[in-house]
């Protein structure tokens, strides 16, 4: 490497300042964005990277899936369901209106799955 420093590091990090180093450029060297230290491409010849990206599985949501859900659909609060009278409902929030207005709260009864909204 071009310079030693206080950091004990692999070649993916700058030995001088500890910053993450960028990828090799077209000139065959690496230059630290933070402290501008340059490293020769030879320092990176033995590095190999193996990436695995795990995606969420897609599941189809149907009316039957929603009704057969075992647990609540989110955090649970004490709120009386207007349909069945149960005193616990789960909720989710979204910012559907302008940024200077409140959020919309979606409540779901954990007993009968009745849904209602509230603009806060």
Q: What is the 3-state secondary structure (H, E, C) of the chain?
A: CCCCCCCCCCCCECCCCCCECCCCCCCCEEECCCCCCEEEHHHHCCCCCCCCCCCCCCCCCCHHHHHCCCCCCCCEEECCCCCCCCCEEEEEEECCCCCCCCCEEEEEECCCCCEEEEEC
> What is the reported pTM?
0.42
> Do 44 and 4 share a structural domain?
yes
Would you say residue 63 lies in a domain? no
Residue 85 pLDDT: 93
Residue 120 pLDDT: 81
Domains held by the chain: number: 2
> Do 74 and 50 share a structural domain?
no
> Do 45 and 1 share a structural domain?
yes
- Determine the structural domain holding residue 35 and report its residue range: 1-54
pLDDT (mean) for 51-69: 61
Would you say residue 84 lies in a domain? yes
> Do 110 and 82 share a structural domain?
yes
Give the C-alpha separation, 86 to 77, whole Å: 11
Judge contact between 106 and 115, C-beta under 8 A.
yes
> Do 37 and 5 share a structural domain?
yes
Would you say residue 65 lies in a domain? no
Judge contact between 81 and 72, C-beta under 8 A.
no
Would you say residue 59 lies in a domain? no
Long-range Cβ pairs for the range 117-120 (8 Å, 24+)? none
pLDDT-based confidence at 88, cuts 50/70/90? Answer: very high
Q: Which residues pair with 109 in a beta bridge?
A: 89
pLDDT-based confidence at 78, cuts 50/70/90? Answer: very high
């Amino acid at each position: 490497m071009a310079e030693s420093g206080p950091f004990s590091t692999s070649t993916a990090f700058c030995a001088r300042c500890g910053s993450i180093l960028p990828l090799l450029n077209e000139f065959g060297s690496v230059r630290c964005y933070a402290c501008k230290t340059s490293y020769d491409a030879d320092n990176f010849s033995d590095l190999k990277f193996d990436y695995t990206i795990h995606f969420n599985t897609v599941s189809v949501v149907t009316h039957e899936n929603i009704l057969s859900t075992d647990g609540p659909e989110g955090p649970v609060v004490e709120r009386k369901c207007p349909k069945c009278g149960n005193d616990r409902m789960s909720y989710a929030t979204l910012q559907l209106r302008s940024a200077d207005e409140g959020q919309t709260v979606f409540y779901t009864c954990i007993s009968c799955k009745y849904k209602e909204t509230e603009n806060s």
